[in-house]
Amino acid sequence: GEGIVVSDLAQKMAVKVREVIKSLMKMGEMVREGDIIDQTTAALVIEEFGHNFIAVSDTQLEDDLQEAATEKQGNVQTRPPVVTIMGHVDHGKTSLLDKIRETKVASGEAGGITQHIGAYHVGTDRGVITFLDTPGHAAFTAMRSRGAQATDIVVIVVAADDGVMPQTEEAIDHARAAGTPIIIAMNKMDKDTTDPERVLNELSVKEIITDAWGGDTSLVKVSAKTGMGIDELLETISIQAEIMELTAPVDGAAQGVVIESRLDKGRGAVASLLVKKGTLKQGDLVLAGEFYGKVRAMTDENGERIKSAGPSIPVEILGLPDAPMAGSEFLVVSDEKKAREVADFRIARERERLLERQNKMRLENMFANM
Ligand code: GDP
Ligand code: MG
């Protein structure tokens, strides 16, 4: 098989290069970050870090379906940016998401009951913005470890009275590893204990030089409490999105990512999907992770029934037989037989991984007891 550069492998797993080198050393491999290691060794490292290794040849079936879907997609247009808010605990992620939603959604939408579907979208003067509303690094990392890059822009919230903290640094590292542009939201500006200069200084230590200091990272001062700076933050996101020239085909079979899912007693499997390409319609046959089924009903984040959803639009669907894992890719397929084949193959693959993990644990226990 093909090899991979050690630093690339580390970046793909969002871990420090030196952790990967350490893990390789334990296997008796002395390497530097620029060295290439073979696929078998890489697979061992990947498992060591708790990720799943997928050999390229096994995914042919999936590629075929993907290709069939892509063939039918067309009419490329500008699409809304998808934004994740990250930052240290208590710096105001949830408050900020709530405030944006409250000021932008509640005012525009008539009578809808807002529901938690893992994402929402807001209209601004410069266009639509979609927010993934499961803040935090766990969700972001889970998605990335499954290969799903759902986020275009990361907004990092830093409380102006607390500064750069461990999870702020982690957020910066995650965004960098994913190659996602960062916007800093300096929050809690309504307080009288803020120290913006200190925050700028601490950010610069992490090599985040904000526009206030002549750098290229946008910083917006906000207050999730009073709503100050929210419009400016949305405008900054839109400008960043314009620079990125985000586009997607609007027509044809939808594909995207599962952002959340759960089993509901009355309604069965409920899955929140973010469309990345094409348009998802009621009645479509969806393959999501290991499950497939026809979209029975589709609603937006306001609980309103909708018939279709285009790129960057989050929806909640009913119709899958079970809840696919967050971060799984979904795809609309026309061939039910192929959908079943891929689903079966994925179920088998999951089972194999589970067995491998159990065997590994059994071995470890054996050695521990020796
Ligand atoms: P998270 O852990 O990052 O999601 O932070 P939260 O949104 O839960 O906020 C943590 C605490 O900070 C809560 O008590 C909020 O009310 C408060 N808070 C959040 N944003 C602001 C703000 O802009 N100003 C003030 N004064 N308090 C805020
Ligand atoms: Mg929170």
Q: Is the pLDDT of residue 110 over 50?
A: no
For the CA of 88, the nearest atom of ligand 1: 3
Question: Do 160 and 195 form a contact (C-beta atoms < 8 A)?
Answer: yes
Q: What is the pLDDT of residues 275-288, one digit of tens each?
A: 999 999 999 999 99
Q: How confident is the model at residue 53 (pLDDT cuts 50, 70, 90)?
A: low
**Which ligand is the nearest neighbour of the Cα of 97?**
1
Q: What is the pLDDT of residues 222-263, one digit of tens each?
A: 999 999 999 999 999 999 999 999 999 999 999 999 999 999
95 lines ligand 1 (CB under 6 A): yes
pLDDT of residue 23: 92
Q: Is the pLDDT of residue 83 over 80?
A: yes
Closest CA to 118 of 95, 139, 142, 146: 139
What's the complex ipTM? 0.99
Q: Amino acid identity of 46?
A: I
C-alpha 237 to ligand 2 mean position (Å): 21
Q: How far is CA 337 from CA 31, 285, 292, 293, 298, in A?
A: 46, 11, 11, 12, 24
134 lines ligand 1 (CB under 6 A): no
Residue located nearest, by CA, to atom 11 of ligand 1: 90
**Is this structure's pTM higher than 0.90?**
no
**Which ligand is the nearest neighbour of the Cα of 224?**
1
Q: What is the share, in percent, of the chain residues with pLDDT greater than 90?
A: 58
Q: What is the mean pLDDT of residues 203-211?
A: 95
Rounded to whole angstroms, the Cα distance separating 168 from 312 reads: 26
In angstroms, the first-to-last Cα distance of the chain is 36
For tokens 């890059």, the residue is: 149
227 lines ligand 1 (CB under 6 A): no
Closest CA to 20 of 38, 53, 42: 42
228 lines ligand 1 (CB under 6 A): no
Number of Cβ within 10 Å of residue 2's Cβ equals 8
Closest CA to 167 of 141, 194, 197: 141
**Which ligand is the nearest neighbour of the Cα of 96?**
1
pLDDT of residue 57: 44
pLDDT of residue 145: 65
Rounded to whole angstroms, the Cα distance separating 279 from 266 reads: 27
133 annotated among ligand-binding-site residues: yes
> Which residues 6+ apart lie within 8 Å of 268 measured at CB?
318, 320, 321
224 lines ligand 1 (CB under 6 A): yes
Residue located nearest, by CA, to atom 10 of ligand 1: 90
135 annotated among ligand-binding-site residues: yes
Q: What is the mean pLDDT of residues 283-303?
A: 94
Rounded to whole angstroms, the Cα distance separating 73 from 84 reads: 26
Q: Amino acid identity of 169?
A: E
Q: What is the share, in percent, of the chain residues with pLDDT greater than 70?
A: 91
89 lines ligand 1 (CB under 6 A): yes
Query: Distance of alpha carbon 234 from its chain centroid, rounded?
Result: 19
Q: How far is CA 344 from CA 98, 150, 261, in A?
A: 40, 25, 20
**Which ligand is the nearest neighbour of the Cα of 85?**
1
Closest CA to 161 of 207, 192, 119: 192
188 annotated among ligand-binding-site residues: yes
Residue located nearest, by CA, to atom 17 of ligand 1: 92
Ranked by mean pLDDT, the top range of 34-48, 57-71, 132-146 is: 34-48
Mean pLDDT of the residues in the chain: 88
99 lines ligand 1 (CB under 6 A): no
Residue located nearest, by CA, to atom 16 of ligand 1: 95
121 annotated among ligand-binding-site residues: no
215 annotated among ligand-binding-site residues: no
Question: Do 24 and 31 form a contact (C-beta atoms < 8 A)?
Answer: yes
Mutate to test the pocket of ligand 1, among 95, 187, 193 (most ligand atoms within 8 A of CB): 95
Question: Do 158 and 201 form a contact (C-beta atoms < 8 A)?
Answer: no
Q: What is the pLDDT of residues 116-153, one digit of tens each?
A: 888 999 999 889 999 997 656 666 776 766 666 789 99
Q: What is the pLDDT of residues 209-224, one digit of tens each?
A: 999 889 999 999 999 9
Q: Is the pLDDT of residue 172 over 70?
A: yes
